[in-house]
Amino acid sequence: MDFVGFYNWGGGSGGTEIITGVANENLPSAEQNIGTNPYMFFSGDFTNLSRELIHISLYGFQQGGVASMHHHDLRPYESLKVVNVPLQKVQVFVETGAVVGFHGMGSLRLANDNEEYALALMKSTINETLHQSPDFDTDTYNSTNIAAIATTTVWTPAANSTIGVYKITIASAAANTVEMQFTDNLGANIAKIGMIRFASEGSFVYDFDTALMRNPNGNDGLLQAVTTTANAIQVDTIGHDILFSQ
C-alpha cells in the first residue's frame, strides 16, 4: 500500500474546528469529504472537544457504491478511532444553537490491487475512547472590590472563550449576603453557583475540581457577584479562559 498523505478536519494545520448547531437537527452541522477512491483507506481519530453530546455519521465505500456505515454518539471528550476504513465522508450533528469544538486527523493510504485491498479490509476497526475532561492551567487571576448594593461582573473571559473556575474567595468587611452566578454575555440566563450570608466580618472559599467549573452559557459568558449591602467585599477568582481547542 502507498502512503498518500495526512488528513486534518477542515483542511487546516490543526484539524480543530468550531461547529455551531444548525436549526434543523436532522441535518448535519458540518460535513467533510475524506476520499473519492474506494481503494483509499483512512486511519485516524474524530474527537468531541466539548461537554456537549454530539453525533457523527461515517459514510464509506461498500459494494455497489457509497452507503452509510456507522452512526455514533460522541460523548464529551470522546474519540472515535477509525482504522483502515475506505471512508468517503463524515457528518457531524450538533444540537441547535450549541457551539462545540471538533477535532479530526488521520492518514490516507492507497491499495494498489485487490489483494492489498482485501488485506486492508481484514484489519478494519472502529473503536471508541472516552477521555476525562483535561486539567487546565490556572493562569487567570481576577480581584474585584465591591462596596454597593449591586450586581457586579467579576470575570469577563477573553473573546471566544468560556470561563472555567478553580477557586473563588470572598472576603467581607461586615455583614453582607453575596451570591455568585454565571450569566451569558448580556447578563441573562442566570445559573446560580451559591449564596453566602456573612453575619459579620469573614471570608469563604469555593473550591472546584482541577477540570474546572465551567459557565454553562459557553463562550463569552460572565461571572457575577450579587451583594445586598454596601459593606465592602473583595472577590478573588482563579481559573482559566477555556478555548474550544483545549
pLDDT for residue 66 is more than 70: no
What number of residues does the chain have?
246
Neighbouring-strand partners of residue 226: 151, 179
- Which residues are paired to 127 by β-bridges? 81
pLDDT of amino acid 244: 67
Q: Which residue in 201, 199, 181, 200 sits closest to 191, CA to CA?
A: 181
CA 4 to CA 214: how far, in whole Å? Answer: 41
Q: How high is the pLDDT of residue 180? A: 98
What is the assigned CATH class of domain 2-130?
mainly beta
Q: d(Cα 50, Cα 134) in Å, to the nearest integer?
A: 11
Query: What does the pLDDT look like over 178-229, one tens digit per residue?
Result: 999 999 999 999 999 999 999 999 999 999 988 889 999 888 999 999 999 9
CB 109 within 8 A of CB 3: yes
Judge whether 2-130 and 140-242 match in fold: yes
Q: Which whole-number Å values give the CA distances from 107 to 34, 68, 84, 89, in the listed order?
A: 10, 21, 10, 14
pLDDT confidence tier of residue 64, bands split at 50, 70 and 90: low
For the segment 105-157, what is each residue's pLDDT rounded down to a tens digit?
999 999 999 999 899 989 999 998 887 777 777 889 999 999 999 999 999 99
pLDDT confidence band for 174 (50 / 70 / 90): very high
* pTM for this entry: 0.71
Round to whole Å and give the CA distance between 229 and 238: 25
The Cβ of residue 51 has, within 10 Å, a number of other Cβ atoms equal to 16
**Bridge partner list, 81:** 45, 127
What confidence category does residue 15 fall into, taking pLDDT thresholds of 50, 70 and 90? low
DSSP 9: G
pLDDT of 243 > 90? The answer is no
Q: How confident is the model at residue 16 (pLDDT cuts 50, 70, 90)?
A: confident
Render pLDDT for 81-114 as a digit per residue (tens, 0 to 9): 999 999 999 999 999 988 888 999 999 999 999 9
Any idea where the domains of the chain sit in the sequence? 2-130, 140-242
CATH architecture of the domain formed by 140-242: Sandwich (2.60)
Per residue, what are the HEC states of 121-166?
HHCCEEEEEECCCCCCCCCEEEEEEECCCCEEEEECCCCCCEEEEE
* Residue corresponding to grid cell 482559566: 240
Residue 14's pLDDT is what?
Answer: 64
